[in-house]
Amino acid sequence: RALEEIHARGLRFGDLHPSNIIVRPDGRIALVDFEYATALDDQDTPLAGAQGLQAPPGTPGAEADAYALWA
C-alpha cells in the first residue's frame, strides 16, 4: 500500500530495498529514504538502487519499483 501511495502521487521511489521498509508502532508499513525518488514520468534520470534489486534498463518507474520489491 505504501508503494501504491507513492505512485499515486506521481513519484517513483527509485531505491527500494529491505532497509528502506519499516513497520511503524501502529503496524503500518512505511518507506524511508527518498534520496533517489523522481517523477514517475522522468525518463532522463537513470534508475538507482541496490545491486541485485535494480530493474532492467528502460523499465518504467512504477514497474521498476515493483521489480525491486519482488527481487
Low-confidence stretches of the chain (pLDDT < 70) are 45-56, 58, 60, 68, 70-71
CA 3, chain centre distance (Å): 7
Q: What is the pLDDT of residue 41?
A: 82
Of 15, 26, 42, 44, the active-site residue reads 15
Question: Does residue 42 carry a catalytic annotation?
Answer: no
Helices (H), the chain: 2-8, 61-70
Helices (H), 1-41: 2-8
pTM of the model: 0.61
Q: What is the pLDDT of residue 50?
A: 59
Could you give the CA distance from residue 55 to residue 21 in angstroms, rounded to a whole number? 18
DSSP state of 19: G
Residue 33, number of CB atoms within 10 A of its CB: 15
33-51 tens-digit pLDDT: 888 888 888 777 666 655 6
Q: What is the pLDDT of residue 24?
A: 95
